[in-house]
Structure formats: structure tokens, C-alpha cells
Structure 1
Amino acid sequence: MPSRQKKVLFCTAGVLSFACALGVVTALGTPLWIKATFLCKTGALLVNASGQELDKFTGEMHYGLFHGEGVRQCGLGDRPFRFTFFPDLLKAIPVSIHANVILFSTILTLLTMVGTAFFMYNAFGKPFETLHGPLGLYLLSFISGSCGCLVMILFASEVKIHHLSDRIANYNEGTYAYKTQSERYTTSFWVVFICFFAHFLNGLLIRLAGFRFPFAKSKDTEPAGASADLMY
């Protein structure tokens, strides 16, 4: 492949990596991972609410990895609230899982920035033959994609299996009990998903640049060996 085309492919991969790094950094600081609605069960049962009356007892909230906000409703008007995971919700959430989500998000950001530098170095510099060359790019892309996958799996398990939204809605509520009605992933979560996909797309760009996947056997090796044996 001509050198110019390789530069274009590596530059494209570098730009994708840089955009992913910026996206993950932004996602870490924004409360736009989950948007949920929850019902005030206590209030609804007291007045035997049904149908459209349930709207007066339905609140909503959105949150990220560090903070969030929402509105509680129990038939007496809106009750806005804000919260932070550290230190407000330390006793209510699965701290180990939540900390791992933040940790792998940070690792994802760092590796993506390193990958950006390596892609640009391979495009405009003279790459080394080991970690600075194609093998290192494959390795970084694979590890970064795996970190993105872990972030999504851990966060999804925290939300769905450990009922994170229920824990947040019921935190410091001794009188009323709340039950989550709906949850949906929002912008920041899908940014991580796009980054996960982009890292494996970078692997394809490296292959298009003419570099074989790691541990792939060359098709030319066996015929060359066979012809050498025939010569002797």
C-alpha cells in the first residue's frame, strides 16, 4: 500500500482515538448515564391511585458516575433533590462495582490517549518494531476496547442487578417507598459504547494499512519452505 494511504488510515484512527478520549472524559463528568422514572408506592396506595392519577406520584431522575438530580412526587407537589455518590451514597450503593466502573473509565481514557499518540507517530514518524509499531497498535486497540466493554458490563450490572435507581430513590426516605418504573441509558453511556466500537474499527484500519493481525501466519511461509527443500 502506498505510504500516503497508510498515513491517511493511521491519521483517521488517531482522530477516532482522540475523539473517543474526549468523549469518555466528558461522559465521566456528566450525569447523563441513566434516566429513570419511579413511583411513590406509599402515596399511591394511600389514596388508591390509578390511571392518570399515578402521574402525581411519579418522579424522575438522571445520574452519572459522580452525581445526579431528580424530582420526587408523592401527591404533594414536586420535591427536587440532588445527590453525589461520594460521600452521600457510599452506604447505599455497591461501592466496589461503582469504583471499578470509574477505574476502567479512567484506564480507557489514558490508553486511548496513548493510542492516539502511537497512531500519529506511525503516520508521521518512523515506528519501532515492537510496542510502538503495528503490534502495539493492535494491543492498545484491543485493551482499550476491552476496558470499554467492562465499563458497560459493570455499569449495567450495577443498574439492573443491584437496582441502583431504587437505592438512590429510597436513600434517606423513611416515610415513603419508591419503586423504579423505567430506566434507559442516555448520552454518556452510548458515548462509551461508540468508543468501544471505534477501537475495534481502528483494528480494521490497521489491517487495511497492510499489517497482519497478531499471531496470523503468513501464507507465503509454507511455499517458500517447500521450494527450499526441493532445491536441496
Structure 2
Amino acid sequence: MPNQQKKVIFCMAGVLSFTCALGVVTALGTPLWIKATFLCKTGALLVNASGQELDKFMGEMQYGLFHGEGVRQCGLGARPFRFSYFPDLMKWIPTNCYVSFFFSYILIVGVVTGLSFFLFNGFGLVYKRNICPNTLFVPSIAGSCGCLVMILFASEVKIHHLSEKIANYKEGTYAYKTQSEKYTTSFWVIFICFFVHFLNGLLIRLAGFRFPFAKSKDTETTNVAVDLMY
């Protein structure tokens, strides 16, 4: 492939990586991953509430990987609250949360590193060096970390009932039960960025570079010939 076409492909990949980097940093820093509603069971049972009366006992919250906010209601008016995993919920959150924190930092580093490589190759002549194909596949690591962050966070929410634990944090009198949960903007931003990294891998392959773990046919043929000689 001509060098000019390679530059165009690298610039396209750089633009996608730049958009992805902005989306990832914004998504990880906002509490817009999950929106949940929860019912104050204790208050509803005390007054035997039903139908529209349950609205006075319904609270809601939204949270992300690091912090969140919400409103508790137990028949006596709204009580807004804010929380952060560190240091508020260190003893309450499951181990998966700590692992997802680790992969989220790797995701940010991988996205920014991949962006720098794409831009450097798009406006320079680095793609002529042998080290380039290996460095260009750094975004693949970032994409894998993004996938792991989504899986770990979803398991925390669904398996470990994270929303219910947060709703009952420091609530000795009232007990809350989660009614509904849905993934919101930031979660889907990470999901889209995962596919962007996959698309960047296809663009690199389109530019003529082989994956680091793929061996060329010429090398395999040479190895076979050498083995036959001995």
C-alpha cells in the first residue's frame, strides 16, 4: 500500500482514538453508569402502602465506577445523599470493584498511548520501522480492558446487588430493596469505544501490518526447509 494511503488510514484511526479517549475519560469520571430505583420496605410495611401510595416510599440513585448520588424516600420527604467508593464504601463493595478500578486506569493509559502512536504515525515516517506494527496494537489492549471493565461492573450490579448495598449504606432503621436498574450513558460510551478499538485493529490490518502473533508464510516455509535439511 502506498505511503500516502497509510497516512490517511493512520489519521482516520487517530481521529477515532481521539474521540474514544475523550469518551472514556468522561465516562469513567461521571456517575452515569447505572440508574436504579429502590423501595423503602420498612416504611411501606408500617403503613401498609399500596398502589400510588408506594410513590412516597420510592427512591432513586445513579452511580458509576467511583461515586454517585441519589434520593431516599420513606414517607417523610426526600433525603438526598451522595457517596464515593473511597473512603465511604471500602468495606461494603465487592472485590470486583477494586479489579474494575485497576482495569479502568489501564484503559485510560492504553487509549492515550494508542492515540499518540496513531497521530505520530499519521504525520511522521515511523511506520517504516520494524517496531511500529507491535506498538500500533496497544489500543487492542485498551479495548480488552474496556470489555473487562464492563463485565466486572455488570457482575457487581447483578450478582452482588451493588445498588441495594449502596441504598442500605448507613441505614440502620430502614431497609431498602432495589426495584429496577438500567445502564445509562457512560456504560454505553465504553461499549461503543470497545468497538472503536476493534475497528482500529481492522484499519491497521488494512494498512498492511500483520498482527504480532501472526507469522508470515515465507517464515514458516523457511523454517520447514531448514528442518528438512537437518
User: TM > 0.5 between the two?
Assistant: yes
Structure 1 unaligned regions, length at least 5: 226-232
**Contact preservation (8 Å) 1:24, 1:105:** no
Residue 86 in 1 paired to residue 59 in 2? Answer: no
Question: 1:115-159 CA deviation, whole Å, 9 max, x = no partner?
Answer: 1111122222222212xx123212x12211111111111111111
The match for 1:37 is: 37
Matching residue of 1:99: 98
**What's 1:194 paired with?**
192
Superposed, 1:1-232 pairs within 5 Å as: 1-94=1-94, 96-127=95-126, 128-130=129-131, 133-138=132-137, 140-218=138-216
Larger displacement relative to structure 2 (49-58 or 37-46): 49-58
Question: For residue 226 of structure 2, what is the aligned residue in structure 1?
Answer: none
Scaled by the length of structure 1, the TM-score of the pair is: 0.88
Deviation of 1:217 (Å): 5.0
Distance 1:169 1:224 in 2: 64
CA distance in 1, matches of 2:105, 2:90: 20
Give the whole-Å Cα distance in 2 for the aligned partners of 1:121 and 1:145. Answer: 20
Q: What is the CA–CA distance in structure 2 between the aligned matches of 1:105 and 1:74, rounded to whole Å?
A: 35
Using the size of structure 2 for normalisation, the TM-score is 0.88
- CA RMSD, 1 decimal: 2.1
The percentage of counterpart residues that share the same residue type is 76
AA aligned opposite 1:87: P
Residues 35, 185 of structure 1: 8 Å contact kept: yes
* Cα distance in 2, alignment partners of residues 213 and 71 from structure 1: 50
Extract unaligned runs of 5+ from structure 2.
Answer: 224-230
Distance in 1 separating the partners of 2:180 and 2:209: 46
Q: For 2:98, give the aligned amino acid.
A: A
